[in-house]
Amino acid sequence: MSDWQQLEKRYLFSTFKRQPVTLVRGQGVRVWDDQGREYLDFVAGIASVSLGHSHPVVVSALVEQAGVLAHVSNLVYSIPQLRLAQLLVENSCLDRVFFCNSGAEAIEGAIKLARKWGKEKREGAYEVICTDNAFHGRTLATVTASGTDKYKLPFAPLPPGFVHVPYNDVEAIRKATGAKTCAVLLEPIQGEGGVNVPRDDYLRQVRVWCDEAGILLILDEIQTGIGRTGSLFAYQQCGAEPDIMALAKGLAGGVPIGAFLAKEHCAAFAPGDHGSTFGGNPLCTHVGYCVLKYIIDNDIPGQVARKGQHLERRLRSLADRHPIVTDVRGRGLLWAIELAGELAEQAVGMCLEEGLIVNNVKPTALRLMPPLVVSEEELDRAVETIDRVLAKLEEEERERDA
Ligand SMILES: Cc1ncc(COP(=O)(O)O)c(C=O)c1O
């Protein structure tokens, strides 16, 4: 065990199950550990390092802005924040933006906005319909909105006003809607829940129901947004526009940022309703602006769609050849490989040994979410590594059964 791992044990809360590797450098899709060993990074800071490590756009935006003005309060105007807000609005169906520092904060703000709207426009409605297996963050409200008991029950009593229904089930949303409901909160594809892709018409039908019932649709695009699924936002492929949308992760290429956006009709905040010290500061929003502009100008979402089709073909061929693979699912550059049994942790360790960093999103599933700039050759190398690891796991199973 390296000294760094000893220090982690000594000084940090043990909240993360970390892989036994200390990364010290990155370039594109490649990262190096403190022993100089090279890896392909198919976790990308959990779908955050959208342009890859040390991308010149991110590096120069950071240096440029840090040398001019890194932080000012939201008590004054700041140009980078306004430029990023304008770029987001001009490239989405939403009208107004609030900037914060993380995904959880973006969802927390989205919930507050929906409650304020419910108070003013729906006779005090405050309840949010959420889905099983959802993940929306770790603050008290967002963990309550999430769909995994083990993340929330240790922190009870939890805030009231959240009801859960199965994902991919419009009828369940209809039945759960009542006079107290102000919004439905959904991920277009559930990321942390295991890359769960709903039926093609799910979001469209939820949208129709929200309109009929007079409630808001909040989309959590924190993992699916900013090009990850092959369009700038996943909703653009679903034929359903959100009233409120939350972003974070890839928006500034790995620099911490979050945002929620809303249509004018539900932009219910008044001065004093919400705030943040660091949210929208010049440093992070300048990087966000440069990253988003690069992603739009270079049609990175279009490239992701094409690379995603290539990856899908390679993964489906893996599934055909390996009985241990029971399903592959995803879109763009967000994929899961479902295994027959709780083998994902072992598979992740074996991939790491072979120089590939992937994530065990569930005990039974591996998740792939490389930087959006990954090449087809790098995708092929990763799939070949997984191919070898699956063969080894199958070999071990055969030996155990013999
Ligand atoms: C869909 C979704 N929402 C919210 C979050 C929380 O984001 P953060 O960890 O930045 O608070 C995540 C993080 O994985 C996520 O995937």
Residue 218's pLDDT is what? 99
Given a contact cutoff of 8 angstroms between Cβ atoms, the answer to whether 146 and 185 are in contact is no
- Phi/psi at 142 (nearest 5 deg)? -75, -30
Given a contact cutoff of 8 angstroms between Cβ atoms, the answer to whether 222 and 256 are in contact is no
Q: Which of 135, 162, 233, 260 is catalytic?
A: 135
378/171 Cα distance (integer angstroms): 42
DSSP string, 233-283: SGGGGTT---SEEEE-GGGGTTS--EEEEE-GGG----TTS---SSTT-HH
CA of 102 to the centre of ligand 1 (A): 8
Give the C-alpha distances (Å, rounded to integers) separating 99 from 75, 252, 341: 14, 12, 41
Both structure tokens of 333? 């550059």
Beta-carbon count within 10 A of 321 CB = 11
The C-alpha angle with vertex 367 and arms to 260 and 291, in degrees rounded to 5, equals 40
Residue 103 Cβ inside 6 Å of ligand 1? The answer reads yes
Residue 220 annotated in active site: yes
CA of 123 to the centre of ligand 1 (A): 31
CA of 162 to the centre of ligand 1 (A): 18
List the one residue out of 141, 84, 89 whose CA is nearest residue 114. 141
Written as tens digits, the pLDDT of the chain (402 aa) is 469 999 999 999 999 999 999 999 999 999 999 999 999 999 999 999 999 999 999 999 999 999 999 999 999 999 999 999 999 999 999 999 999 999 999 999 999 999 999 999 999 999 999 999 999 999 999 999 999 999 999 999 999 999 999 999 999 999 999 999 999 999 999 999 999 999 999 999 999 999 999 999 999 999 999 999 999 999 999 999 999 999 999 999 999 999 999 999 999 999 999 999 999 999 999 999 999 999 999 999 999 999 999 999 999 999 999 999 999 999 999 999 999 999 999 999 999 999 999 999 999 999 999 999 999 999 999 999 999 999 999 999 899 888
Which residue type sits at 161? Answer: G
Residue 273 annotated in active site: no
Given a contact cutoff of 8 angstroms between Cβ atoms, the answer to whether 225 and 233 are in contact is yes
Q: Which of 41, 98, 152, 249 is catalytic?
A: 249
CA of 222 to the centre of ligand 1 (A): 6
Given a contact cutoff of 8 angstroms between Cβ atoms, the answer to whether 163 and 176 are in contact is yes
Given a contact cutoff of 8 angstroms between Cβ atoms, the answer to whether 55 and 236 are in contact is no
Both structure tokens of 334? 């967000």
302/304 Cα distance (integer angstroms): 5
326/394 Cα distance (integer angstroms): 13
Residue 192 Cβ inside 6 Å of ligand 1? The answer reads yes
Tracing tokens 């929306």 back to the chain, one arrives at 136
Q: Which of 98, 99, 116, 220 is catalytic?
A: 220
- Ligand 1 probe mutation, 136, 151, 189, 278, most atoms within 8 A of CB: 136
Residue 45 Cβ inside 6 Å of ligand 1? The answer reads no
Question: Of all helices (H) and strands (E), which one includes residue 174?
Answer: helix 170-176
Residues, the chain, total? Answer: 402
Residue 383 Cβ inside 6 Å of ligand 1? The answer reads no
Which three-class secondary structure state does DSSP give residue 95? coil
Both structure tokens of 311? 């990856």
Statement: the pTM of the whole predicted model exceeds 0.85: yes
Residue 248 Cβ inside 6 Å of ligand 1? The answer reads yes
Which three-class secondary structure state does DSSP give residue 51? coil
- Judged on CB neighbours under 10 Å (0-12, 13-18, 19+), 355 is middle
Which three-class secondary structure state does DSSP give residue 341? coil
Residue 221 Cβ inside 6 Å of ligand 1? The answer reads no
Residue 249 annotated in active site: yes
DSSP type of residue 156: P
Peptide bond between residue 159 and the one before it cis (omega within 30 degrees of 0): no
- Ligand 1 probe mutation, 99, 135, 229, most atoms within 8 A of CB: 135
